[in-house]
C-alpha cells in the first residue's frame, strides 16, 4: 500500500494526466490470482498501482535499472525476467509459483513488450501456464490512454491525457479449466481487447 501511495504521488503531481480507476470493487482482496493487462507504455506500471491492490510484478530486467521505479521494484522483490533467456524464464516461473503459494497475486503484461499502436499483441503463455498449474483465477485489466501520455521510446510529456485503468473482473479457474493454455491466453486477450480503445 505504501508503494501504491508513492506511485500515485507521481500521477497526482502531473496535472496533465487525469487517471481514473474503475472496477476496484471486483477485486477480491485477500485472495490471490493471476493478474493480466495490456501494455501500452512504461507509465502502465505507475497506473496499475492506482488500484491499491497488493501484487508482485513480473517485469523485464531492464525496468529494474530505471531510477526510482526500478529501485522500488527491486526493494519490493518483484520478479525479473530476461526476454528470450530460457534460464531466466525458468527462474521467473519458479519465483511466481513461490509468490502465489504464499498467497500473493502476480501481475503480468503477457504481450511481453509495449505496443506502439495500442493494438494488443499475441499473449505469451507464462501467466496462463501458471493459472492452469495452480488452478487459480485470472483477473483481467484494461489500460487506456497511457500510449499517448508517454509513448514508447519517448519522454514527451506534452498535452493533457485522460488515462483509464479498468478491472474487467475475475475469470474463475472453472471457466477455462477445459481449455488449452493457448486457448486460455486468446480468450483473455479477446476480453481485454474488447475494452481497449482502437479494437
Q: Is residue 199 part of a domain?
A: no
Give the per-residue pLDDT at 153.
57
Would strands 106-108 and 34-37 be described as parallel, antiparallel, or unpaired? parallel
Q: Is residue 155 part of a domain?
A: yes
Biggest alpha carbon distance in the chain?
47
Give the per-residue pLDDT at 81.
86
Q: Is residue 100 part of a domain?
A: yes
Give the per-residue pLDDT at 93.
92
User: Is the sign of the CA dihedral 20, 157, 149, 170 positive or negative?
Assistant: negative
Would strands 56-60 and 106-108 be described as parallel, antiparallel, or unpaired? parallel
Q: What is the CATH number of the domain that holds 102?
A: 3.40.1130.10
Tell how far CA 19 is from the center of its chain. 16
Do 107 and 55 meet the contact criterion of CB atoms below 8 Å apart? yes
Instruction: Please name which of 180, 169, 196 lies closest in space to residue 35, comparing C-alpha atoms.
Output: 169
Q: Which domain holds residue 53?
A: 2-193
Q: What is the pLDDT along the chain (199 residues), one digit of tens a residue?
A: 777 777 777 777 776 778 899 999 999 988 999 999 999 888 898 899 899 988 998 888 887 887 777 887 888 889 988 877 889 889 999 999 999 999 999 999 999 877 767 789 999 999 999 999 999 999 999 999 988 877 665 555 556 788 999 999 999 999 999 999 999 999 999 999 999 987 6
Total domains in the fold of the chain: 1
Q: Is residue 124 part of a domain?
A: yes
Q: Is residue 43 part of a domain?
A: yes
Q: Is residue 189 part of a domain?
A: yes
CA separation for the pair 136, 128 (Å, rounded): 10
Q: What cell does 71 get?
A: 529501485
Q: What cell does 187 get?
A: 480468450
Give the per-residue pLDDT at 19.
87
What ranges in the chain are assigned the alpha helix state H?
2-12, 44-48, 69-75, 86-101, 126-134, 146-149, 181-193
Give the per-residue pLDDT at 137.
98
Q: Which residue has 498535452 as its cell numbers?
A: 159
Amino acid at each position: 500500500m505504501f508503494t501504491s501511495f508513492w506511485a500515485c504521488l507521481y500521477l497526482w503531481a502531473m496535472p496533465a494526466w487525469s487517471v481514473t480507476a474503475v472496477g476496484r470493487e471486483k477485486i477480491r482482496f485477500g485472495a490471490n490470482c493471476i493478474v493480466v493487462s495490456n501494455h501500452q507504455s512504461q507509465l502502465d506500471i505507475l497506473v496499475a498501482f492506482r488500484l491499491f491492490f497488493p501484487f508482485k510484478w513480473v517485469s523485464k530486467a531492464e525496468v529494474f535499472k530505471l531510477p526510482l521505479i526500478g529501485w522500488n521494484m527491486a526493494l519490493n522483490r518483484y520478479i525479473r525476467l530476461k526476454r528470450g533467456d530460457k534460464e531466466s524464464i525458468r527462474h521467473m516461473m519458479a519465483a511466481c509459483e513461490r509468490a502465489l503459494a504464499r498467497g500473493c497475486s502476480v501481475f503480468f503484461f503477457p504481450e511481453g513488450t509495449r505496443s506502439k499502436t495500442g493494438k494488443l499483441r499475441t499473449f505469451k503463455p507464462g501467466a496462463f501456464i501458471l493459472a492452469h498449474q495452480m488452478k487459480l483465477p485470472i483477473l483481467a485489466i484494461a489500460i487506456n490512454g497511457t500510449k499517448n501520455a508517454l509513448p514508447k521510446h519517448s519522454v514527451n510529456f506534452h498535452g493533457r491525457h485522460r488515462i483509464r485503468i479498468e478491472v474487467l473482473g475475475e475469470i474463475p479457474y472453472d471457466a477455462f479449466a477445459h481449455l488449452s493454455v493457448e486457448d486460455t491466453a486468446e480468450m483473455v486477450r479477446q476480453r481485454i481487447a474488447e475494452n481497449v480503445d482502437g479494437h
